[in-house]
Amino acid sequence: MSLQIQEPETENTNPRCTAIGIDLGTTHTLVSIMREDAPELIPLDDQLLMPSLIGWEDNLSKDRKGPALVFGHEAAALLTTRPDHVVSSIKRLMGASPDSSEAHTFPHTVFPHASGGVALKMGDHLLTPTELTAHFLSSLKTKVETALGHPVHEAVITIPAYFRDHARAATRKAAEKAGFRVLRLLSEPTSAALAYGLDQGIEGLYGVYDLGGGTFDFSLLSMSRGVFDVRATGGDTQLGGDDIDEALAQWALGQAWPSLSPAQKMTARLHAKVVKEVLSHQEEAVFLHPPHQHTVTRDNLTHCAQTWVDKTFVCVKNVLRDANVQPHDLKGIILVGGATRMPLVQKAVSSYFGQEALHTLDPDHVVALGAGLQAKALSQGADHILLDVTPLSLGIEVIGDTFEPLIRRNTRIPVKATQTFTTAKDNQDALRIHVLQGEHDHIKHNRSLAMFEFVDLPPLPAGTARICVSFTLDKDGILTVSAQEETTGQKQTVKINPSYGLTLEGAKALLDVS
């Protein structure tokens, strides 16, 4: 097996390009752009934080092909009159399949889609998370261009460090559908560290604790003289402030919770979110969801949130173990994400690492600011270097339903790995290649990415044919797999797009045979 670390691609250095940074968050979305030597947030509808909400009205859209969608603050306004016409947390469904945990735990009704993925019902129409995100980003693009007074075509978009390949590919596809040329999919903790490193001038080994609305990431970065080197990363794409909101709402409503409609539960979660935010700087707050009203103390919130906060440290311990680092080895801890404003979180982080965490930059803004810095770097050039890693191992199925990794987690990207396989039977004329992502030895515990069949192998004795399988992981963490039979030179290539565990016939449609 060979492993080749590739140099980053040469980026566009056209100084006339205007590139933006987009923090596409579960709860809020922010946009930044470089102004002279510093990133600056762009107001969207006169506010810096645009709710990551999508709603629909009963009338048809202008092209009469679907419901009239509204986004951000307009969608938020519908919550008071038509909460059943608003969906949230779309980010949690990116790249999800109908049988996935993401679909089963999503707060809105999820439907299977003909693509093999999932969809949400907007009026009489089923739209996939990729389609909805594309509409959302298209609306955002229009708002940004109105604010700036000129077109914008290029963007760096932030994603959770622990996003799987399907979710990364779905995010890129949505942005391209919205009219963006995606310069980079940048992990959120790395983006935050970039903002701190360039704005605050910090250097050394730092941990980034990122607890957002729907996801949690923890990354270790070494920062020195303009080089940002991600050492290890981990997280949970189904763990965030949304879960704490729901736990608090369930606690406050007690036995009334199960009988609520999905729209009523959404409203209750929003009330709980407000209470959670108030309790970050007050000892008491009132949870009001007519006819229910409760006084909630900070201790009550701690009771509801403790389990979720404890889960974040399972991820933290795994990352430290992977990097062979002890908590006291870190020079500092950076807090990212609105949920880190909770005193419970700040106290837990400080206690675990034995030092006060950094939050001098607004935890809601810092990811977007870093994205703006990287957008300038990739469109106009910069004097810093960003080195990232892949969060999960990638490999194929071998005999005995066993997972054989070709690229292991925390390998620096971009990277190319190659391994040679052979046939198990005489005159075997085909070889199935099943691509998976995960950390378990058995394939059933990992995520299936794609499956294709290498056909028309030469008739040779068992163990004679040589099929060279190559994995190429680009700077955005998106995978391309190729296989070549050394005797004939026959080659097949598949770019891993969201396939949701396609059947063999479905996966064959993705093949480019040469």
For residues 441 and 336, state if they share a domain: no
CB 209 within 8 A of CB 316: yes
Which structural domain, as residue segments, surrounds residue 34?
19-238+307-380
Report pLDDT for 65: 62
For residues 25 and 82, state if they share a domain: yes
According to DSSP, the residues that pair with 56 across neighbouring strands are: 69
Tell me the C-alpha distance between 168 and 174, whole Å.
Answer: 10
DSSP state of 44: B
| b/e code 189-214 from CB counts within 10 Å (16+ = b) | bbbbbbbbbbbeebeebbbbbbbbbb
Q: Residue 384 burial (CB < 10 Å; 0-12/13-18/19+)? A: middle
CB 496 within 8 A of CB 480: yes
Report pLDDT for 459: 86
Report pLDDT for 129: 94
CB 451 within 8 A of CB 504: yes
From the list 23, 246, 397, 485, the catalytic residue is 23
**Which strands make up the sheet holding 54-60, listed edge to edge?**
67-71, 54-60, 86-87
Is 217 annotated as catalytic? Answer: no
With bands split at pLDDT 50, 70 and 90, how would you rate the model's confidence at 500?
A: very low
Q: Is residue 419 part of a domain?
A: yes
DSSP state of 384: -
Which of the listed residues 380, 403, 437 is the one where a domain comes to its end?
380
Q: Which amino acid is at 459?
A: P
* Helix (H/G/I), strand (E/B), else coil: 329: helix
Q: Is residue 1 part of a domain?
A: no
137-142: which pairs have CB atoms within 8 A and are 24 or more residues apart?
137/22, 137/24, 137/174, 137/175, 137/177, 137/178, 137/180, 138/177, 138/178, 138/179, 139/69, 139/71, 139/72, 140/22, 140/29, 140/31, 140/44, 140/50, 140/71, 140/72, 140/178, 141/178, 141/179, 141/180
- Residue 440 CB neighbour total at 10 angstroms: 12
* Nearby residues of 477 by Cβ (< 8 Å), 6 or more positions away: 163, 165, 168, 185, 388, 390, 391, 413
Q: What is the mean pLDDT of residues 328-349?
A: 94
Q: Is residue 249 part of a domain?
A: no
Task: Give the pLDDT confidence of 442-483 residue by residue, as tens digits.
Answer: 998 888 888 878 888 888 888 888 889 899 988 888 888 888
Which among 398, 397, 392, 391 has a CA at the least distance from the CA of 501?
397
Q: Is residue 194 part of a domain?
A: yes
pLDDT of 14 strictly over 80 = no
Tell me the C-alpha distance between 95 and 100, whole Å.
Answer: 10
For residues 36 and 164, state if they share a domain: yes
Task: Give the pLDDT confidence of 246-264 residue by residue, as tens digits.
Answer: 999 999 999 889 998 888 8
Report pLDDT for 164: 84
Report pLDDT for 6: 46
Tell me the C-alpha distance between 319 and 310, whole Å.
Answer: 15
Which among 142, 133, 136 has a CA at the least distance from the CA of 163?
133
- Top mean-pLDDT range of 84-93, 225-234, 261-270, 338-347: 338-347
Report pLDDT for 275: 95
Count CA within 13 A, CB hemisphere, residue 75. 23
The DSSP bridge pattern shows strands 430-437 and 394-398 to be antiparallel
Tell me the C-alpha distance between 102 and 499, whole Å.
Answer: 15
With bands split at pLDDT 50, 70 and 90, how would you rate the model's confidence at 16?
A: very low
Q: Is residue 261 part of a domain?
A: no
For every residue of 136-193, DSSP letters joined together read: HHHHHHHHHHHHHTS---EEEEEE-TT--HHHHHHHHHHHHHTT-EEEEEEEHHHHHH
| b/e code 84-110 from CB counts within 10 Å (16+ = b) | ebbbbbbbbbbbbbbebebbeebbbeb
Q: Is residue 243 part of a domain?
A: no
Q: Is residue 319 part of a domain?
A: yes
Q: Two tokens at 166? A: 């399907």
Report pLDDT for 509: 38
* N-to-C CA span, the chain: 24
pLDDT of 13 strictly over 70 = no
For residues 497 and 371, state if they share a domain: no
Q: Higher-confidence residue: 289 or 24?
A: 24
CB 206 within 8 A of CB 166: no
For residues 128 and 32, state if they share a domain: yes
From the list 102, 165, 188, 245, the catalytic residue is 188
* Locus of tokens 């990207």: 413
Is 210 annotated as catalytic? Answer: yes
According to DSSP, the residues that pair with 483 across neighbouring strands are: 469, 492
Tell me the C-alpha distance between 391 and 485, whole Å.
Answer: 30
For residues 372 and 408, state if they share a domain: no
Task: Give the pLDDT confidence of 226-241 residue by residue, as tens digits.
Answer: 788 899 999 898 899 9
Q: What is the mean pLDDT of residues 72-88?
A: 89
Is 203 annotated as catalytic? Answer: no
| b/e code 274-290 from CB counts within 10 Å (16+ = b) | ebbbbbbeeeebebebe
Which of the listed residues 380, 411, 439 is the one where a domain comes to its end?
380
Which among 399, 404, 407 has a CA at the least distance from the CA of 477?
407
For residues 55 and 105, state if they share a domain: yes
Which of the listed residues 359, 380, 401 is the one where a domain comes to its end?
380
Q: Is residue 274 part of a domain?
A: no
Domain CATH number, residue 191: 3.30.420.40
* Nearby residues of 191 by Cβ (< 8 Å), 6 or more positions away: 21, 23, 158, 366, 367, 368, 370, 371, 374
Dihedral sign (CA 233, 237, 238, 241): positive
CB 128 within 8 A of CB 90: no
From the list 131, 210, 245, 397, the catalytic residue is 210
Task: Give the pLDDT confidence of 399-434 residue by residue, as tens digits.
Answer: 888 999 999 998 988 999 999 988 888 888 888 889
Domain CATH number, residue 424: 2.60.34.10
The helix (H) or strand (E) run that includes residue 399 is none
> How many domains is the chain partitioned into structurally?
2
Count CA within 13 A, CB hemisphere, residue 484. 10
For residues 184 and 319, state if they share a domain: yes
